[in-house]
């Protein structure tokens, strides 16, 4: 079972404040909450309450998701907003599922040639107007409203408009992220600051510009964002500041419906976002782990954590090689998610110790042969096939922001939405137009062309690691999951599923359990395992001295590891929502 020592540390050392939220309707909001009337879990109590308010009014999960998305853009303007993007997985009460890819895409003017002509790099433009990609959040809202929403946009946007006009109390997360990005905001968005100063906890933040923008969308329709006055404002800003996006880019944007990726782990069915994001890597992780008896090892057994470290290193290289926009590159998401391919990757796991610099250089840094399994290849026949030349993975700097936001919704009828949205880094480019920040998704393309899935091209959707999902057991909904956290997203969600399935943790227990993150630091030649405090000291010592990993301990709870906001469906149908302990999240439910 999981570490009782850590559980005592949590109970004694971390006091979780339960927040009551004033709402226009009767809702209850806490960090952990149970209800049989529907549930919303989000990274901010007010955003969760906005969704629950819609459920209380008789709205369904899609209605509540739209309200939550819009509210998050007000109360977490640093993490998402109207100029953001993302992915959602929807499961209807009858078991039907679909996913909407509303990832941003590069504007038509965005090319490596233009970068060179302006003497810029991808890294440099990530905090400039040139760093923005064409956003998808508003188009996603338009799409899901046509797929089963029961409430008009005016009602769904009402909580967000109320928060923007009347204001809300700045919490510690808001204030700290503002302080961390003060230089950026001072240069790019001084009007966002509080008379030139960073916002402090307890102060009241209002955003009348965003309220006016939301009212425009309600009055004139969501296409106003892409074809009307808001698009005109973005175009004018870009022309004035030397940015690359134009109104024509906004006009041309479309969301894409994609089949969710499906996999299984020890009898549980995983339905997760696929291309061009992190779902295939998550399934690859689970397929590898299915070959081990983790429950027999124990939750903080150093051997189990070592195996996870080794697998995470391998699957990260596969993601970097094979996951991208299928309209532009050869991908191998199905191969990555194949159980027989997991056996091939399993052969690369070194049980007796950490991967060394020589081993990394001599082959473990290379992606596996996932394409051989794309059309159902079998492990036992693989070794008789001719081998393709090993792919190179471009040695690009990985961005590791803790930004992005995720929320989960289940209504009283059993419809569910897992929705992740982002403006990439906190505050995106830092450029502020009509009350919202412009994303900096261009920073996720590679600095130089390398012939791979993350090369920059006009109209291309960049790969990221988000992985919203629903999990079923025997055809019934069990969990709605997702998290922010950059490169930690897939490892964190993988650990949550292992915690709940192998170690029988509750959702609350796994969200409050410490997490690990894995990487290989080439310049130092070491396998780096970043760990939140809470593991047994003997476990951490064994990982470092026995297995040879470099262990870096971060104090629990640490924002670096993201912040899952998720919902569990009990065997009796009771819903339990849990907000993030690392980012002040909450769950909210109607009172009637």
Kindly report the three-state secondary structure assignment for every residue of 547-573: CCCEEEEECCCCHHHCCCCEEEECCCC
Annotated catalytic, 404? yes
Q: Which one, of 1, 47, 27, 31, lies nearest residue 576 by Cα? A: 31
Give dist(CA 443, CA 115) in Å, integer.
13
Kindly report the three-state secondary structure assignment for every residue of 186-212: HHHCHHHCECCECCCCCCEECCHHHHH
Task: From residue 269, give the alpha-carbon distance in Å to each of 208, 265, 504.
Answer: 44, 7, 16
- Cβ distance 403 to 384 under 8 Å? no
Give dist(CA 342, CA 490) in Å, integer.
16
Task: From residue 360, give the alpha-carbon distance in Å to each of 112, 318, 367, 407.
Answer: 30, 14, 11, 37
Task: From residue 491, give the alpha-carbon distance in Å to each of 166, 423, 466, 498, 502.
Answer: 39, 21, 11, 11, 16
Q: Residue 472: left (phi > 0), alpha (psi -120 to 50), or beta? A: beta
Of 404, 422, 465, 492, which is the active-site residue?
Answer: 404
Give dist(CA 87, CA 102) in Å, integer.
6
Give dist(CA 473, CA 496) in Å, integer.
16
**Number of C-beta neighbours around residue 391 at 10 A:** 20
Give dist(CA 453, CA 276) in Å, integer.
10
Residue 590, φ and ψ in degrees, nearest 5:
-65, 150
CA dihedral 498, 323, 419, 299 (to 10 degrees): 10
Give 585's contacts (C-beta < 8 A, 6+ positions apart).
Answer: 31, 41, 42, 43, 44, 45, 48, 563, 565, 578, 579
Whether residue 557 is preceded by a cis peptide bond, meaning omega within 30 degrees of 0, is yes
Whether residue 189 is preceded by a cis peptide bond, meaning omega within 30 degrees of 0, is no
Q: How far apart are the first and last CA of the chain?
A: 37
Pairing type for strands 550-554 and 526-532 reads parallel
DSSP 505-530: --HHHHHTS--EEEEEETTTTEEEEE
Give dist(CA 533, CA 14) in Å, integer.
13
Q: Is 548 exposed, middle or buried (0-12, 13-18, 19+ CB in 10 A)?
A: middle
Pairing type for strands 575-578 and 566-569 reads antiparallel
Element (H, E) at 89: strand 85-91
The residues that are catalytic are: 404
């Amino acid at each position: 079972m999981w570490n009782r020592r850590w559980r005592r540390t949590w109970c004694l050392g971390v006091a979780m404040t339960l927040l009551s939220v004033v709402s226009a309707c009767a809702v209850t909001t806490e960090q952990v909450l149970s209800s049989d009337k529907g549930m919303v879990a989000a990274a901010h109590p007010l955003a969760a309450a906005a969704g629950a308010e819609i459920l209380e009014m008789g709205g369904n999960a899609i209605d509540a998701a739209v309200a939550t998305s819009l509210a998050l853009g007000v109360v977490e303007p640093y993490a998402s907003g109207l100029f953001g993007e993302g992915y959602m997985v929807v499961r209807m009460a009858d078991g039907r599922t679909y996913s909407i890819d509303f990832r941003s895409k590069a504007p038509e003017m965005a090319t490596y040639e233009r970068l060179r002509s302006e003497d810029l790099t991808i890294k440099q433009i990530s905090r400039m107007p040139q760093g923005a990609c064409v956003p998808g959040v508003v188009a996603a809202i338009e799409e899901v409203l046509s797929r089963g929403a029961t409430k008009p946009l005016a009602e769904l946007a009402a909580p967000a408009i109320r928060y923007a006009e009347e204001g809300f109390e700045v919490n510690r997360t808001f204030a700290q992220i503002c302080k961390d990005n003060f230089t950026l905001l001072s240069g790019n968005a001084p009007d966002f600051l509080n008379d030139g100063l960073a916002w402090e906890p307890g102060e009241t933040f209002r955003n009348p510009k965003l309220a006016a923008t939301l009212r425009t969308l309600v009055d004139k329709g969501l296409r106003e964002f892409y074809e009307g006055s808001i698009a005109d404002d973005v175009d004018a800003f870009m022309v004035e500041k030397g940015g690359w996006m134009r109104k024509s880019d906004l006009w041309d944007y479309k969301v894409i419906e994609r089949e969710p990726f499906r996999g299984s782990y020890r009898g549980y069915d995983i339905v997760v976002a696929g291309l061009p994001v992190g779902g295939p890597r998550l399934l690859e992780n689970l397929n590898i782990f299915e070959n081990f008896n983790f429950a027999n090892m124990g939750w903080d057994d150093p051997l189990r954590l070592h195996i996870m470290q080794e697998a995470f290193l391998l699957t990260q290289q596969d993601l970097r090689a094979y996951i991208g926009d299928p309209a532009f590159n050869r991908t191998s998401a199905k191969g990555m998610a194949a159980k027989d391919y997991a056996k091939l990757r399993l052969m690369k796991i070194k049980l007796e110790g950490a991967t060394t610099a020589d081993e990394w250089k001599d082959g473990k840094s290379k992606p596996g042969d996932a394409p051989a399994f794309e059309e159902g290849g079998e492990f036992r026949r693989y070794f008789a096939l001719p081998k393709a030349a090993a792919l190179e993975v471009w040695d690009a700097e990985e961005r590791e922001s803790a930004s992005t936001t995720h929320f989960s919704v289940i209504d009283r009828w059993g419809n569910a939405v897992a929705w992740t949205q982002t403006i990439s880094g906190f505050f995106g480019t830092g450029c502020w137009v009509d009350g919202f920040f412009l994303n900096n998704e261009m920073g996720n393309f590679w600095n130089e062309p390398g012939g791979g899935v993350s090369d920059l091209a006009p109209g291309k959707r960049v790969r990221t690691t988000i992985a919203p999902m629903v999990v079923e057991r025997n055809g019934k909904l069990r969990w709605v999951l997702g998290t922010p956290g950059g490169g930690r997203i897939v490892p964190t969600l993988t650990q949550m599923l292992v915690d709940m399935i192998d170690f029988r943790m509750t959702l609350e227990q796994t969200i409050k359990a410490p997490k690990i993150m894995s990487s290989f630091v080439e310049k130092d030649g070491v396998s780096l395992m970043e760990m939140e405090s809470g593991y047994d000291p003997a476990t951490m010592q064994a990982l470092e001295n026995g297995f040879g990993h470099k262990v870096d301990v971060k104090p629990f709870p640490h924002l670096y590891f993201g912040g899952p906001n998720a919902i569990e469906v009990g065997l009796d149908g009771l819903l339990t929502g849990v907000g993030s302990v690392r980012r002040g999240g909450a769950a909210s439910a109607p009172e009637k």
